[in-house]
């Protein structure tokens, strides 16, 4: 009977010791790792917008991409868009648009003409669809002046119509748009006069009447005019002297006769 009563007394101190030991271990927490794992680097900021990658992802612009790469205009666009202050709108003809050109026309262009053709499709500003109605014609492109590279844009609702004098087309869809770059799909290649139908330069304007008057006066004051005037005076003087001499001779003869 005594042994059975002593067993619970011995078990209680052991239980209290065990619980106290476990509490101290849990309070210490897990041991620090000898080689801590470094924190992951923050993601790098996005680079400049890549026009050719956007066109490749969209599809149906293989010929335009090839032309951009062979002329190295794609590199120029990449550098241009690397400047956060630079904004651009691209009018992108599809493969079907290039197929409308006469056979061999694109290959017959010189390298500089190919660059100018691409620049004719670049507007040096970011334009949303609603911004097109605020433009003044002729619209400025990266190709050059409005005489050889005229581009006129009109809008009707959400429709944007474009004409070069040789081609009439319209925007058929939005390929890409953010606050810096906009790319719109065209179903025809924009053909400028300067490449596909060069026009003769306009004649120089006629001088104003005031300028013509000054020119005439200047010619009268020229050394040649002065020489002519002096020669005329000499002739007149000779003529007068000759008549006087003849008159004197007649009078002399008459006196002798008398």
Please state whether the predicted TM-score (pTM) of the whole model is above 0.85. Answer: no
Q: Note the CATH number of domain 51-196.
A: 2.30.180.10
The per-residue pLDDT for 65 is 98
Residue 98: per-residue pLDDT: 97
Range with the poorest average pLDDT among 154-168, 172-186, 204-218: 204-218
Average pLDDT over residues 28-38: 51
Task: Find the farthest-apart pair of alpha carbons in the chain and give their distance in angstroms, rounded.
Answer: 211
Q: Is 73 exposed, middle or buried (0-12, 13-18, 19+ CB in 10 A)?
A: buried
Give the residue extent of every domain in the chain.
51-196, 219-257
pLDDT in tens, 133-144: 999 999 999 998
At 178 the pLDDT is 92
Considering only residues 35 and 250, tell me which one the structure prediction assigns the higher pLDDT: 35
Residue 93: the pLDDT is 98
- Give pLDDT, residue 197: 85
pLDDT of the residue at 254: 43
- Distance between CA atoms of 117 and 88, rounded to whole angstroms? 16
- Residue 76: Cβ-neighbour burial (10 angstroms; 0-12, 13-18, 19+): middle
Question: pLDDT tens across 98-120, in order?
Answer: 999 999 999 999 999 999 999 99
Which tens digits make up the pLDDT trace of 156-172? 988 999 999 999 999 99
Does residue 74 register a pLDDT over 90?
Answer: yes
C-alpha dist (Å) from residue 82 to 85, 125, 172, 220 = 9, 15, 28, 63
Cβ pair 118, 67 in contact under 8 A: yes
At 247 the pLDDT is: 43
**Percent of the chain residues past pLDDT 70, beyond the cut:** 58
């Amino acid at each position: 009977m005594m042994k059975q009563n002593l067993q619970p007394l011995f078990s209680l101190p052991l239980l209290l010791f065990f619980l106290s030991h476990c509490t101290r271990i849990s309070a210490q927490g897990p041991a620090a790792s000898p080689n801590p794992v470094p924190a992951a680097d923050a993601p790098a900021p996005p680079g400049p917008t890549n026009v050719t990658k956007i066109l490749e992802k969209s599809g149906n612009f293989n010929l335009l991409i090839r032309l951009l790469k062979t002329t190295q205009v794609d590199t120029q666009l990449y550098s241009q868009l690397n400047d956060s202050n630079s904004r651009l709108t691209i009018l992108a003809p599809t493969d079907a648009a290039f197929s409308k050109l006469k056979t061999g026309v694109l290959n017959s262009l010189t390298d500089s003409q190919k660059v100018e053709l691409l620049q004719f499709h670049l507007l040096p500003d970011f334009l949303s669809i609603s911004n097109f109605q605020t433009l003044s014609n002729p619209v400025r492109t990266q190709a050059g002046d409005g005489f050889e590279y005229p581009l006129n844009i009109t809008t009707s609702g959400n429709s944007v119509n474009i004409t070069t004098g040789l081609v009439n087309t319209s925007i058929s869809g939005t390929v890409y748009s953010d606050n810096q770059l906009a790319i719109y799909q065209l179903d025809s290649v924009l053909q400028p006069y300067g490449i596909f139908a060069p026009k003769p330069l306009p004649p120089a304007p006629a001088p104003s009447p005031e300028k013509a008057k000054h020119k005439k006066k200047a010619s009268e004051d020229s050394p040649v005019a002065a020489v002519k005037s002096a020669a005329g005076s000499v002739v007149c003087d000779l003529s007068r002297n000759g008549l006087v001499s003849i008159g004197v001779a007649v009078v002399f003869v008459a006196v002798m006769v008398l």
